[in-house]
Amino acid sequence: MDENNNTYMQHKLLTSLILHILPGAITAGGFFLLRPVLNRFGFPPLLAFLLAVLLLDLPVMLGIMLLAGKRAQGRLTLKDVVGFQDRLPLGKFLLYFGGAFLLVYLLISLVTPLNTLISEWLFSWLPAWIFLDDQAQYLAYGKGILIFTFSLQLILTGIVLPWVEELYFRGFLLPRLDHLGWWSPLFGGLFFAFYHVWQPYGFLTIFVLGVSLGYLVYWQKDLRLPISLHMLANLAARIGFLMAALSM
Note the pLDDT tens digit of each residue in 36-53.
Answer: 999 999 999 999 999 999
CA distance 226 to 223: 6
Domain segments of the chain: what residues? Answer: 5-247
pLDDT of 215 strictly over 80: yes
Contact 248, 136 (CB under 8 A): no
> Which pLDDT band holds residue 201 (cuts at 50, 70, 90)?
very high
DSSP 46: H
Q: What is the pLDDT of residue 1?
A: 38
Note the pLDDT tens digit of each residue in 58-101.
Answer: 999 999 999 999 998 899 999 899 999 999 999 999 999 999 99
Note the pLDDT tens digit of each residue in 107-132.
Answer: 999 999 999 999 999 999 999 999 99
Contact 29, 45 (CB under 8 A): no
Distances (CA, A) of 58 to 117, 134, 174, 200: 31, 24, 18, 20
Q: What is the mean pLDDT of residues 150-174?
A: 96
> Which pLDDT band holds residue 242 (cuts at 50, 70, 90)?
confident
